[in-house]
Amino acid sequence: MITAVRKPMEEIIACVSPYDRILLVGCNECVSVCSAGGRKEVALLSSALQMHFLKQGKTIEIREMTLERQCDPEYVEELVNYMDGADAVLSMACGCGVQTIAARFREKPVFPAVNTTFMGASERQGVWSERCQGCGDCVLGITGGICPIARCSKRLLNGPCGGSTKGKCEIDANVDCAWQLIWDRLKALGLEKRIEDVIEAKDWRTSRDGGPRKIVREDLAS
């Protein structure tokens, strides 16, 4: 899922303070799962903003909405009847959702209330870790199901480096060495010989390095 964390209150307040009527929009997908921008977080942020502005002696009108998916134009269309009553939109979705609203309602200022952080997985309750950088050319099949691009601090394709100590990375003793994990996993699979294969320098064109990416499915595109 795409993970996010709420922006500091001061930053959100600075964005919305010039406006009297705010449309606060959450998303029921990834940000809801990682408790950053779902219905519950929308309600909490709305209350926090109301309280802040009340203390300042300012009345602010906040309408709360949580869409099924903010990154889909069909769902964003549901906002059309509420836009006239809003001076600005505060979105609690990932950057994809914020941009979908901004593209549809060009005349309204749209502000992000969360920082989109990474594509990750849930480790345990309340803990998410980065697992994928969307490089566009997955190597998990040869690295034992552990991604060196997302999980090795140096993105090494032929690790480990000299900074791996007792399975941990030199950047932080709490960070696992991805290449130790890869070694352990390949060993468990009886594929440890694979570590001797040199992975060629990566072709980054499929990643962000080749410019903004797009998927066009001819069989589905309208």
Partner 1 sequence: MNFKKKLSAGEFVVLAEMNTPKGVDISELVTNARRLKDRVDAVVIPDMDNGVMRMSALGGGALLRREGLETIAHIYGRDKNRMALQGDVLAAYVLGIPHLLAVPAEPMANGDHREAGTVDDLGEIDILKMIRSLCEGVDMAGFELKGAPELTVGCAMSPVADDSQLAQEVETLSRKVDAGAQYVVTSPVFDLEAYGRIVDALKPLRVPLVANVFLLKNVGMARYISIHDPGSRISEDMIRRIRKAPDREAECIRMAGEAAAELKNMVQGVKITTLGWEHRLPDILSSAGM
Nearest residue (CB) to partner 1, 35 versus 207: 207
Question: Any contact of residue 21 with partner 1 (CB under 8 A)?
Answer: no
3-state secondary structure of 169: strand
Cα of 117 vs its chain's centroid, Å: 4
Within positions 150 to 209, which residues make up the interface with partner 1, using CB under 8 A?
201-205, 207, 209
- In sequence order, the β-bridge partners of residue 65 are 25
Number of residues located near partner 1, criterion CB under 8 A: 9
Within positions 79 to 118, which residues make up the interface with partner 1, using CB under 8 A?
none
Among 18, 141, 162, 211, binds partner 1 (CB under 8 A): 211
Nearest residue (CB) to partner 1, 33 versus 142: 142
Tell the smallest beta-carbon distance from residue 2 to partner 1 (Å).
22
Tell the smallest beta-carbon distance from residue 210 to partner 1 (Å).
6
Q: What are the strands of the beta sheet with 61-67, ordered from one edge? A: 61-67, 21-27, 88-91, 110-112
Nearest residue (CB) to partner 1, 173 versus 201: 201
Tell the smallest beta-carbon distance from residue 203 to partner 1 (Å).
4
Residue with tokens 């209150």: 9
Nearest residue (CB) to partner 1, 40 versus 208: 208
Q: Looking at residue 152, what DSSP letter applies?
A: S
Cα angle for residues 120, 125, 131 (degrees, 5° grid):
15
Burial string for 124-148 (b: 16+ CB within 10 Å, else e) reads eeeebeebeeebeeeeeeebbebbb
User: DSSP string covering 91-131, please?
Assistant: E-S-HHHHHHHHHH-TTS-EEESEEEEEEEEEEETTEEEEE
Tell the smallest beta-carbon distance from residue 149 to partner 1 (Å).
11
User: DSSP string covering 17-38, please?
Assistant: TT-SEEEEEEESSHHHHTTSSS
Tell the smallest beta-carbon distance from residue 208 to partner 1 (Å).
8
Nearest residue (CB) to partner 1, 21 versus 202: 202
Nearest residue (CB) to partner 1, 40 versus 213: 213
Tell the smallest beta-carbon distance from residue 205 to partner 1 (Å).
5
Could you list the residues that contact partner 1 (CB under 8 A)? 201-205, 207, 209-211
